[in-house]
Structure 1
């Protein structure tokens, strides 16, 4: 008798997630995976159905139900839906964005074993949405990456649909001339959800365990910049790390925007590099370039003409150079400031 009661109690406690049956897309594939990362939904049953009775029996609905209340219903197809991630963003949310908006911080904490501080968690919450989830929202809602005039007839140079994540997920649906039963779709959906979920977890771990810790190293380098050079325009990283985005953010925080012009660090071989600072994180234009007469030179010729021993190269575009020692790359940066 006790065993029977225990089984009934556990069955009542089990959560149920519902999304629509039939063809699936990247947004609900990720939404379901994200929910299942949470302790609350870890062992939840997944139902794929368009039957309102199944909706009523479920604890949470994603991409189905024609409602959004932030509690049980997380659909975006209904007329009059214009929810965005926050006031900073203009992209209308899909089911992926809706789930991430409400559960994103808890999802990140789960993936990173509750390590981020509150401020770091806020940074990651925005970063993951901006770099990954927003594009899925836009794709599912038919929003272009570019603002294109109505009368323009732009033709792409190539097609990349098949290699985009939404394209890959779409391709995981059963083919029209294969088994297209509900069971076949459900099996393919499970595979698609695992695929996009794995990509998502890898991305979050990368930001949380690599990108975010780099901020502390960049901050350390910025704080010690006057010990490197009195101009304050050169910083030395204690080791290579992703530095560009952090540098711009820290400059803003410390009210020294556009002050730093060169970053020194070691490469994978142990040699030293001197990098210019781009005007933004994706630009090929830099705040100040390495000396124009030395660009494109290498090794002994570069060492002779610069008067700096141990030089390896300066790129022809002038945005980066290399040498055998920290002292040498520092001298190349100093020459550029002169």
Structure 2
């Protein structure tokens, strides 16, 4: 029977998620889990993650703590593999697009992620392009944050507030407290709770990507192809950076606004953010409109049906599609500069 190994002691989201991912595969779904730091106990196990100081896919050993390790999602530690100093590792040695060092669960996902995705969503097996897209999207939107956190990589050089609601924080709080009652859950029971939590979060994100974002991507690509039918500039339609690159849009042709109806029937005109940012727009709605509503906004803009423009200029609303389009086009023609949302 196959067996899974990881370290004992305090646990983190990394190995809790890694074990859950392995258990989605048929060869490990019933595998006993051994948690130990004793090399003699780990040696005979089928697959070992996050302990033992070795990364070797052929041997099914997936640790990331050893000197010289700097594997990434789409690359490797070129310096070490080419015979250079194994301690010279970092983003500059990565050979691929991604620069975040993998954790143990990142290694599991890199090697077995596609199999896991197909097991959870069998329809992906019939569409290799969709499978590849979801595989990468799940890494970008979920797995990379686990890798960064477990490897002590700060999200930014400077932060404005503390974030303690992330999955790694929630898993950390499942460890036994210093004053926990002696008759409470065992360490292994706590680990299983953490692993189940990680799996639930992974599954929820995957469902959203497969059932919502993947179909939307197809719609967006169709819209991107037809963008010049909306306006000759092609700058008022979609906001998918990956698709812009695929279709080779020049800098001057990048999409600035997306138009869509909300649940109330109002048409929204929303600015597209600068790629790699969460709150900086390529182009904000005109500054004189910001913070205005209804009749005052109609009078200031000269566009019928205006409902509102957010104080930062990142979104506005109009009663009709034509009105929302007019708001976007008037802004594009006016050349309002990009703004950072506060």
- TM, length-normalised to structure 1: 0.81
Is 1:78–2:73 an aligned residue pair? no
> Which of 123, 132, 143 is equivalent to 2:142?
132
Matched residues in 1 for 2:166 and 2:315: separation?
32
Asked whether the 8 Å contact 2:138–2:206 carries over to 1, the reply is yes
Q: Deviations over 1:254-312 (max 9, x none)?
A: 12234133321101211101223333363544444434443333212323444433221
Show the counterpart of 2:232: 230
Show the counterpart of 2:314: 319
Show the counterpart of 1:290: 285
Structure number with bigger Rg: 1
Q: Deviations over 1:168-197 (max 9, x none)?
A: 212211223446799811111111110111
Matched residues in 2 for 1:53 and 1:330: separation?
68
Matched residues in 2 for 1:178 and 1:286: separation?
48
Matched residues in 1 for 2:173 and 2:40: separation?
30
Q: Deviations over 1:143-202 (max 9, x none)?
A: 33345xxxxxx8x66543x43322221221122344679981111111111011111111
Which structure is higher in helix share? 1
| Structure 1 unpaired stretches of 5+ | 1-13, 148-153, 236-242
Matched residues in 1 for 2:18 and 2:136: separation?
17
Root-mean-square deviation over aligned CA pairs: 2.6
Show the counterpart of 2:171: 169
Show the counterpart of 1:275: 270
Matched residues in 2 for 1:137 and 1:281: separation?
18
Matched residues in 1 for 2:311 and 2:318: separation?
15
Q: Deviations over 1:186-243 (max 9, x none)?
A: 11111111011111111122122212221111111122222222332323xxxxxxx5
Q: How many residues align?
A: 308
Asked whether the 8 Å contact 2:124–2:130 carries over to 1, the reply is no
Asked whether the 8 Å contact 1:97–1:134 carries over to 2, the reply is yes
| Structure 2 unpaired stretches of 5+ | 76-95, 334-342
Change (3 A) 1:253 1:297: same
- TM, length-normalised to structure 2: 0.80
Show the counterpart of 1:59: 46
User: How far off its partner does 1:127 sit?
Assistant: 2.3
Change (3 A) 1:288 1:144: closer
Moved more, 38-47 or 311-320: 311-320
> Which of 104, 121, 131 is equivalent to 1:95?
104
